[in-house]
Amino acid sequence: MHAKESMEKREPVMPSKHFIKTFFESFAEDPIFNSVDKEKEGDVDETEHPPEKNVTNNGYLKARQHLQEGNYGEIIECCQNELANPLTPHKVEALLLRATLYQLRGEGKKAMDDLTALINIENAPLKIHVNALVKRGSLHMQHERVDDSLQDFDKAALLDPSNCDVFHHRGQIHLLIGKVDSAISDFKKAVELNSNFPIAFVQKCYTDYRYAYQMGDKAKVDEVMKKFDEAIKNFPKCVECYVLYAQVLCDQGEYERADGFYVKALEVDPDNPTTLVHRALLTLQWKGDLAQARTFITQALEIDDKCELAYENLATIEVQTGNLKRGVELFDKAIPLAKTEMEMAHLFSLRDAAVAQLKIVEKMGINIPNLGSL
């Protein structure tokens, strides 16, 4: 109930540049981002898009320039300017880019409307059409519309069976709904289609590991661990490789090695707040060191004051150690950053539980600092 009410009144929040960069990296075949990326490297057909430094209009081409420069807050307005022109040659691109930014800001309804409008345009370029289906399928899942989600992914797979993004993101959906066999099959297909896509490669390793571990297949676990080594060797700049390997090692009780991989991940990307949060959780599990865990999460928030994961975990630590008021304050900071009603409901459940505890503690006159030692 609280989540539903809050979601209706929620102000859109643009996530940090790091979060947006990570989002785009989860697509190997995003047609707009890849095109802009090529321009950064100077590898572009100037007849298709003029050099961005010469852009004078304030429409789609300007939006591309903002995307290239990381000025994400300017993109939606530029796309709106473009779409206001009924004769625009960039309608599908502007719709896709605006929908993507709406999705990142947690404006699911607006994103859904743009993606649906784009999907209904006949003769839209294949890669743009399929990317829209993948993003709409993910949005359906965020609202727990599983059948609609899988329907979009199935359409995308039919239209572009060689697109690794379709299978990578559908694999994530299958994992969420507990269809591990289907997830394994999808990740396998994604890697077969693009063996140079690090996120898909390491996600396949992680899923294979979870399955083998649950089945008690030690030989398969050992085989997958070698694949993690291969992932790190092949993709030394991919943070996800180090982080997922660390989580697997933590699962096996190899805390020191796991911490070493978090350190390496932070060497590759020092501005990654989620790695610091994961390292904090490892520190708690390994050493029970609350002070160090708090320090890591505080560092994460200094890097990115919009890191919902950091607020949630720091709030949980404060609640578990009896600092209930501080915990509630931190949950209150996390809640507006949630992108979906499902995420928000999870955070409200934690916050409301902390509020209930606080009321009981105050009513019974319990000394709160003593709760941490119970």
| Nearest in space to 238 (alpha carbons), one of 22, 20, 17, 32 | 22
Separation of alpha carbons 298 and 300, rounded Å:
5
Q: Architecture of 1-9+299-374 per CATH?
A: Alpha Horseshoe (1.25)
Contact indicator for 286, 269 with CB cutoff of 8 Å:
no
Q: Give the pLDDT of residue 47.
A: 45
Condensed to tens digits (0 to 9), the pLDDT of residues 281-327 reads: 999 999 999 999 999 999 999 999 999 999 999 999 999 998 999 99
Domains of the chain: which residue ranges?
1-9+299-374, 17-127
Mutual orientation of helices 255-268 and 239-251 as an angle, nearest 10°? 170
Mean predicted confidence (pLDDT) in 16-38? 92
Q: Which residues contact 326 (CB under 8 A, 6 or more apart)?
A: 315, 318
Separation of alpha carbons 92 and 162, rounded Å:
22
The reported pTM is: 0.90
- pLDDT band for position 129 (50/70/90)? very high
Separation of alpha carbons 197 and 26, rounded Å:
9
Separation of alpha carbons 5 and 7, rounded Å:
6
Condensed to tens digits (0 to 9), the pLDDT of residues 219-259 reads: 999 999 999 999 999 999 999 999 999 999 999 999 999 99
- pLDDT band for position 37 (50/70/90)? confident
Separation of alpha carbons 161 and 121, rounded Å:
20
Q: Give the pLDDT of residue 42.
A: 64
Q: Give the pLDDT of residue 370.
A: 46
Report the Cα–Cα distance between both ends of the chain, in Å, rounded: 32
